């Protein structure tokens, strides 16, 4: 068995500063044990207020019906489904970081995976709200589940993409939650074992499930993480593929296209990474974790943003080429040439806003200087999130606001205050959860950071100069093939 102790100095350290194992515990668990700051309280209560406004907006929708929203004859899916797709997409970055980057053995994932997975879970929780409340008679929501009933039994339609969505989203949520929590067990045990107050000992004692750190348990834990990563990788690709099927399998011009699955998945990862940047840039500053979420981490994520942003751009242009010209289908061509690309039609502006935010602006990140600039990154992450919201809006609204019957063309759809309130409410839910997470959970995977410290920690890397001077044979004998 080899124990690789050496990592090239060309690679940036993943943990800055003079750290040892105990210092890592102090840095990451410390904020949990301290009293929340004033800033935390302000942020938390603003989130709760937003959440309550959302609850009231949903209450109105349940009592008075979907008529509380400005949906109309042709636009049956407006803000509601736009927000659903947007939130599901946000979630994808967390799984990409925790699963796909684990399979690719990317060391930098250790600094950001915990927070990104939390973001995934909260984002999927928010996403789930939209189709559920969109049903109108929400008390019948359980009809989407295939259970023996007195109506026949009449089953759900397993051939329908909307039902695939039910399975995809609920599986995605469950698997993400299990993956996240199994990773949290050892870190909860760390909090438990250093807890000073009785209450904390009890709570984290329950949360840690009696984790001891036994070698056999770690061996199983590693195996579990690897297989869950292997399962989550196709899962995350399948989830947004299935979401795109909601559109692609219909025969609406603008939706009926086979390019959607890869295009949606790339877009999802793109928007998800933007949200991770927004959150982590704030978290690392407020919780003083710059040594663990370094400029190197931020740069790595910006590279993913420019890659996925360019894939999305490529997809937009392909779609435009096919839809507006190559299909030679007059309905398809009308959607692209008039409803979307023509800036003088009612929603033309949203198409060009989307193009600017998602295709043009991420190209800034080809510059290393801008990739490593905190303010540019933060600003860009917001721009990308706005752009990706407009992508879904463009797909949904511009495809349906002018249907096959011109007499029913609606001139303009703008959301009602309760539609907006519902969206704001999900922001409230998301940030309420995230604030609680940041206060009571280890926001960085403590055990995983410890496992990369001796190869990727700044102070350890500094000692590798001597190793680099050795000739290859001695290097292999002493530092790579460590025979135990």
The CB density around residue 296, as the number of other CB atoms within 10 Å, is 18
Peptide bond connecting 79 to the previous residue in cis, omega within 30 degrees of 0:
no
Q: State which of positions 406-435 bind another protein (CB under 8 A).
A: none
Beta carbon nearer to another protein, 152 or 406: 152
Q: Please check whether residue 81 is in contact with residue 244, taking contact to mean a CB–CB distance below 8 angstroms.
A: no
Considering only residues 238-257, where is the footprint of another protein by CB under 8 A? 238, 242, 245
The Cα 438–Cα 42 span in angstroms is 14
Q: Which of 167, 331 has the CB closer to another protein? A: 167
Residue recorded with tokens 């860009």: 380
Interaction with another protein in 168-197: which residues (CB under 8 A)? Answer: 168, 171, 174-175, 178-179, 182, 185-186, 189-190, 192-195
* Conformation bin of residue 280: beta by default, left when phi > 0, alpha when psi is -120 to 50: alpha
Residue 241 or 310: the one with the smaller Cβ distance to another protein is 241
Identify the residue whose tokens are 């890397």. Answer: 461
CA-CA distance, 128 to 170, in Å (whole number)? 9
CB of 253 to another protein, least distance (A): 21
- The structure tokens listed for 468 are 């680099």
Nearest CA to 333 among 343, 342, 323, 341? 323
51 in Cβ contact with 391 (< 8 Å): no
Site for another protein in 191-230 (CB under 8 A): 192-195, 198-199, 201-202, 204-207, 209-224, 226-228
Within 433-472, the residues that bind another protein by CB under 8 A are 446-448, 450-451
Query: Of 70 and 249, which CB lies nearer to another protein in the complex structure?
Result: 249
Least CB distance from residue 123 to another protein, whole Å?
A: 19
Q: Which two tokens stand for residue 222?
A: 């590693």
CB 53 → another protein: shortest distance, Å?
34
Residues 139 to 158 in contact with another protein, rule: CB under 8 A? 146, 152-155, 157-158
**Shortest distance in whole angstroms from residue 42 CB to another protein:** 32
If binding means CB under 8 A, how many residues of this protein chain bind another protein? 75
In angstroms, give the least distance from the CB of 214 to another protein: 5
How far from 424 is each of 47, 52, 128, 272, 417, CA to CA, in Å? 9, 10, 15, 18, 10
Cα gap 265→133, rounded to integer Å: 25
Using the rule CB under 8 A, give the single segment among 19-27, 72-80, 323-331, 346-354 that binds another protein. 19-27
Residue 258 engages another protein in binding (rule: CB under 8 A): no
């Amino acid at each position: 068995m080899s124990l690789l102790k050496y990592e090239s100095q060309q690679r940036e350290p993943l943990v800055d500063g003079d750290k040892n194992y105990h210092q890592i515990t102090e840095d990451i668990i410390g904020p949990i044990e301290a009293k929340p700051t004033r800033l935390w309280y302000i942020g938390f209560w603003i989130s709760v207020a937003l959440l309550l406004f959302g609850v009231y907006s949903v209450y109105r929708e349940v009592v008075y019906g979907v008529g509380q929203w400005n949906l109309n004859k042709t636009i049956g899916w407006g803000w509601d489904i736009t927000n659903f797709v947007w939130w599901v997409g946000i979630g994808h970055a967390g799984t990409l970081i925790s699963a796909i980057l684990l399979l690719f053995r990317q060391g930098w994932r250790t600094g950001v995976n915990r927070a990104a997975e939390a973001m995934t879970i909260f984002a999927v929780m928010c996403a789930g709200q939209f189709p559920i409340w969109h049903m109108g008679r929400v008390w019948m929501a359980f009809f989407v589940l295939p259970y023996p009933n007195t109506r026949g039994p009449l089953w759900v339609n397993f051939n329908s993409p909307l039902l695939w969505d039910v399975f995809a989203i609920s599986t995605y949520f469950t698997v993400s939650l299990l993956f996240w929590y199994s990773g949290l067990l050892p870190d909860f045990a760390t909090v438990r074992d250093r807890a000073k107050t009785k209450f904390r000992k009890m709570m984290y004692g329950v949360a840690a499930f009696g984790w001891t750190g036994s070698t056999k348990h770690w061996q199983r834990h590693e195996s579990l993480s690897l297989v869950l990563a292997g399962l989550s990788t196709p899962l995350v690709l399948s989830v947004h593929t299935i979401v795109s099927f909601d559109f692609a399998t219909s025969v609406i011009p603008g939706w009926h296209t086979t390019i959607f699955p890869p295009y949606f998945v790339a877009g999802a990862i793109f928007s998800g990474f933007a949200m991770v940047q927004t959150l982590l840039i704030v978290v690392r500053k407020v919780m003083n974790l710059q040594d663990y979420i370094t400029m190197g981490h931020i740069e790595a994520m910006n590279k993913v943003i420019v890659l996925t942003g360019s894939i999305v751009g490529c997809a937009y242009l392909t779609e435009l080429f096919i839809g507006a010209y190559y299909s030679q289908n007059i309905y398809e061509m009308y959607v692209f040439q008039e409803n979307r690309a023509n800036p003088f039609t009612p929603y033309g502006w949203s198409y060009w806003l989307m193009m600017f935010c998602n295709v043009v602006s991420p190209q800034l990140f080809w510059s290393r200087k801008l990739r490593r600039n905190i303010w540019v990154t933060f600003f860009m992450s917001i721009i990308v999130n706005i752009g990706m919201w407009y992508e879904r809006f463009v797909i949904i609204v511009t495809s349906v606001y002018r249907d096959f019957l011109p007499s029913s063309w609606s001139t303009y759809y703008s959301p009602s205050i309760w539609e907006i309130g519902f969206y704001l409410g999900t922001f409230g839910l998301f940030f309420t959860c995230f604030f609680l997470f940041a206060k009571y959970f280890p926001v960085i995977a403590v055990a995983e950071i410890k496992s990369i410290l001796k190869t990727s920690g700044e102070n350890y890397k500094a000692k590798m100069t001597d190793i680099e001077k050795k000739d290859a044979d001695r290097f292999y004998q002493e530092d790579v093939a460590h025979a135990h």
